[in-house]
Amino acid sequence: MKKFLIFFDRYYILFYMLMGILITWLNFFGATMISVYGYYIDFKNIILAGFDPKASIIGAPTFPMWGYGWLLLITENKIILIFIQFVLAIFSLWYSFKVLSQYNVISKTGMRVLKIVLLIALPWFAFHSIRWPYSISMSLITLSVFMLWELLFFKSLTNRKDIGKLLLSGVLFGLALNFRSDYYLAPLGIFIVLIIINIHSFRKMAWSFFWVFSVYLLLVPWGLYTKHATGHFLLTSTNAGHVFFIGLGNLPGNTWGIIPLDQDPRLAELIEDHYGEPKTTLIYETDSLIKKEFSRLIRNNPKEYLRKCSYSFGKMIVSGVYPGEFLLKERQKIQALDAWIQPGDTWTPEGSDYPRRLFLKSKFNEEPFHIFKYITFTEFLRLTIKKISYSIGILLTLISFVFLPIGIFFALRKRIFILFFLQLIILYQMAINVAAYNWYLYTSNIFLYLLINLIFSLVMIYEFLNKKREIKKTKS
Q: What is the pLDDT of residue 70?
A: 98
| DSSP per residue, 151-176 | HHHH----SHHHHHHHHHHHHHHHHH
d(CA 97, CA 74): 30
Q: How large is the average pLDDT for residues 403-422?
A: 97
Q: What is the pLDDT of residue 309?
A: 98
Q: Please check whether residue 150 is in contact with residue 103, taking contact to mean a CB–CB distance below 8 angstroms.
A: yes
Q: What is the pLDDT of residue 472?
A: 82
User: How many other C-beta atoms lie within 10 A of the C-beta of residue 260?
Assistant: 18
Q: What is the pLDDT of residue 3?
A: 82
Q: Over 50: is that where the pLDDT of 333 sits?
A: no
Half-sphere exposure of 83 (CA within 13 A, CB side): 6
Instruction: State pLDDT tens for residues 191-232.
Output: 999 999 999 999 999 999 999 999 999 999 999 999 999 999
Band of the pLDDT at 87, cuts 50, 70, 90? Answer: very high
Higher pLDDT, 334 or 76: 76
Q: Over 90: is that where the pLDDT of 339 sits?
A: no
d(CA 415, CA 409): 10
Instruction: State pLDDT tens for residues 316-325.
Output: 999 999 999 8
Q: Please check whether residue 235 is in contact with residue 181, taking contact to mean a CB–CB distance below 8 angstroms.
A: yes
Q: How large is the average pLDDT for residues 80-104?
A: 97
Percentage of the chain beyond pLDDT 90 is 81
Of the candidates 400, 356, 352, the residue with the CA atom closest to the CA atom of residue 374? 356
Q: Which residues of 326-339 are buried (b: 16+ CB within 10 A; e: fewer)?
A: bbeeeeeebbbbbe
C-alpha dihedral over 355, 358, 364, 370, to 10 degrees? 0
Q: Over 90: is that where the pLDDT of 470 sits?
A: no
Q: Over 70: is that where the pLDDT of 148 sits?
A: yes
Q: Over 70: is that where the pLDDT of 337 sits?
A: no
Name the CA radius of gyration of the chain, rounded. Answer: 24
Q: What is the pLDDT of residue 4?
A: 81
Band of the pLDDT at 93, cuts 50, 70, 90? Answer: very high
Q: Over 50: is that where the pLDDT of 80 sits?
A: yes
Q: What is the pLDDT of residue 441?
A: 96
Cα distances (angstroms) measured from residue 51 to each of 36, 62, 227: 20, 11, 11
Q: How large is the average pLDDT for residues 13-18?
A: 97
Q: Comparing 13-27, 79-93, 331-345, which segment has the lowest mean pLDDT?
A: 331-345
What phi, psi does 10 have (nearest 5°)? -85, -35
d(CA 78, CA 28): 9
Instruction: State pLDDT tens for residues 352-403.
Output: 554 555 555 555 566 666 556 666 777 778 888 999 999 999 999 999 999 9
d(CA 279, CA 186): 32
Q: Which residues of 267-286 are buried (b: 16+ CB within 10 A; e: fewer)?
A: beebbeeeeeeebbbbbbeb
Question: Residue 260: helix, strand or coil by DSSP?
Answer: coil
d(CA 101, CA 98): 5
Band of the pLDDT at 462, cuts 50, 70, 90? Answer: very high
Q: Crossing angle for the helix pair 67-74 and 37-48, nearest 10 degrees?
A: 70
Amino acid at 200: H
d(CA 181, CA 185): 9
Of the candidates 33, 119, 96, the residue with the CA atom closest to the CA atom of residue 392? 119
- Domain boundary assignment for the chain: 2-235+381-475, 240-319
d(CA 139, CA 132): 12
Which class for 347: exposed (0-12), middle (13-18), buried (19 or more C-beta within 10 A)? exposed
Question: What average pLDDT is seen over the chain?
Answer: 91
d(CA 258, CA 398): 28
d(CA 291, CA 236): 14
Q: Over 90: is that where the pLDDT of 430 sits?
A: yes
Question: Residue 388: helix, strand or coil by DSSP?
Answer: helix
Q: Please check whether residue 290 is in contact with residue 242, taking contact to mean a CB–CB distance below 8 angstroms.
A: yes
User: How many other C-beta atoms lie within 10 A of the C-beta of residue 439?
Assistant: 19
d(CA 90, CA 106): 19
| DSSP per residue, 25-93 | HHTTT--TTGGGHHHHHHHHHHHHTTS-GGG-SSS-TTSS-SHHHHHHHH---HHHHHHHHHHHHHHHH
| DSSP per residue, 262-319 | TT-HHHHHHHHHHHSS---SSSHHHHHHHHHHHHHHHHH-HHHHHHHHHHHHHHHHHH
Q: Over 90: is that where the pLDDT of 243 sits?
A: yes
Q: How large is the average pLDDT for residues 119-138?
A: 97
User: How many other C-beta atoms lie within 10 A of the C-beta of residue 310?
Assistant: 12
Q: What is the pLDDT of residue 358?
A: 52
Q: Over 90: is that where the pLDDT of 151 sits?
A: yes
Answer whether the bond into residue 355 is a cis peptide, omega within 30°. Answer: no
Q: What is the pLDDT of residue 2?
A: 75
Band of the pLDDT at 307, cuts 50, 70, 90? Answer: very high
Q: What is the pLDDT of residue 371?
A: 58
Q: Which residues of 15-33 are buried (b: 16+ CB within 10 A; e: fewer)?
A: ebeebbeebbebbbebebe
Q: Over 60: is that where the pLDDT of 429 sits?
A: yes
